[in-house]
Amino acid sequence: MSLRLLLMAARAEHRLLVRKHVEIEWPDAVIVEVPVGEEAPPGEGEPFDPDFNATGFDAAVIVAAPPLEGLAALAQALQKRPEFAPIVFIALARAPAGGAAALPGIRVIQGAKIDRAALLDALSQAARERRQALALLRGRPDYEQRYRFGAVTIRDHRCIRSIGSGGMCTIYLAESERAGRIVVLKVFNQVPDVSERIVGFDRFIQEYEIVAGLKHEHIVRIFDLGVADDHAYIAMEHFPAGDLRQRIKAPLSPATALEYLGQIASALEAIHSVGVLHRDLKPANIMLREDGSLCLIDFGLAKANALAVDLTGAREIFGTPYYMSPEQGHAELIDERSDLYSLGIIFYEMLTGQKPFKGASAMEVIYKHKRARIPALAPQFAPYKPILSRLLAKEPAARYQSARELLAAIASLTAAGAPA
């Protein structure tokens, strides 16, 4: 019997021990580990999204050390969800504590150490129960609809709902059975014709190739890329906390704005180091994780420098006018300093709550980026003026020449005790 297991535990050594026990018995087992509690790194964490049902797993294992109450409550909450995988709760305590010995509908293994025989028996029973339930589920007439994304069927991804669409993609919220989490699924609308190059398709695939190769705490995680019914799709990290555009509707302290500036600059340093420009940096493309940190997304307009001619052709303008550098707005050659200008606009907006340049049309805004002076800052923002002046210089040569140089300036300002 093969086994797909969702493994949740706060401590890495507990996850490793369960994994060893399982893989000795089932060498081909697929185990998705989910850190819970304080050890969870950015982009990871507890699968508590209300739409998560662990539909792709034979069983879910929760390992808890004293105090047990928190994870025992989690087990009870997950067990009540429709279609959730059977739960095996391992309580690493000699005597009953926190009610862990009595969890209705949940298999409990209790003791100072993990009882290997009891664990394997519980998992075997859970897997049989799960497969019987799934057999009944597959017999329902509406079963296939759960994998439908518009006209496209994508196996191993349960559709929850559509959450948006653009010229190139339709975007859905889905449960990835492979990743064991809620994901954002971007489905390419067009079917590429081998006889006719579709530039948008190239950009879509490139988005995956750019981001998947970068493991950075402030860059979106990519979980899957595939083709279904001749439509490409990407499964990526979901951000229920929303984006920076929503966050800055409420005032930010200067200290928070400076911290956010550093996080975005760190992400830009990572993508620039592999020769990639974002080209559409704006608050809507900067997401918030639930721990409050920021994450850069949406590389649909990003391009590797070497692919500029293939993907964009001559003198095409991509981006959002409010955040567009002067050279980008005039279809001139751009480099990483263009992204830094866009970041400067965002920093100005984070500090003041206003965009520096506005207009009745996109062309008026583009003109102001090129010709208008930066609006004067209120006195309380004076310590940040040197950074803003460099970021928003009209000529790229007068800006910071790299994200690393910007990060050094941020570190110096922080060390000097910039006002909060």
181-188 vs 157-165, strand pairing mode: unpaired
Identity of the residue numbered 175: E
Residue 328 contacts residue 305 (beta carbons within 8 Å) = no
Q: Report the alpha-carbon distance of residue 378 to residue 367 in Å, rounded.
A: 24
User: Within the chain, what is the greatest distance between any pair of CA atoms?
Assistant: 74
Q: Report the alpha-carbon distance of residue 39 to residue 46 in Å, rounded.
A: 11
Contacts with 10 (C-beta within 8 Å, 6 or more apart), sequence order = 35, 36, 37, 38, 39, 63, 64, 65, 71
Long-range CB pairs of 250-253 (<8 Å, 24+ gap) are 251/353, 252/350, 252/351, 253/420
C-beta atoms surrounding 68 within 10 Å:
21
Residue 351 contacts residue 254 (beta carbons within 8 Å) = yes
Cis, bond preceding 67 (omega within 30 deg of 0) = yes
Residue 251 contacts residue 265 (beta carbons within 8 Å) = no
C-beta atoms surrounding 322 within 10 Å:
20
What are phi and psi for residue 188, nearest 5 degrees? -70, 130
Whether 310 sits among the annotated catalytic residues: the reply is: no
Q: Report the alpha-carbon distance of residue 202 to residue 187 in Å, rounded.
A: 14
- Out of 280, 291, 310, 339, which one is annotated catalytic? 280
- Which amino acids are annotated catalytic? 280
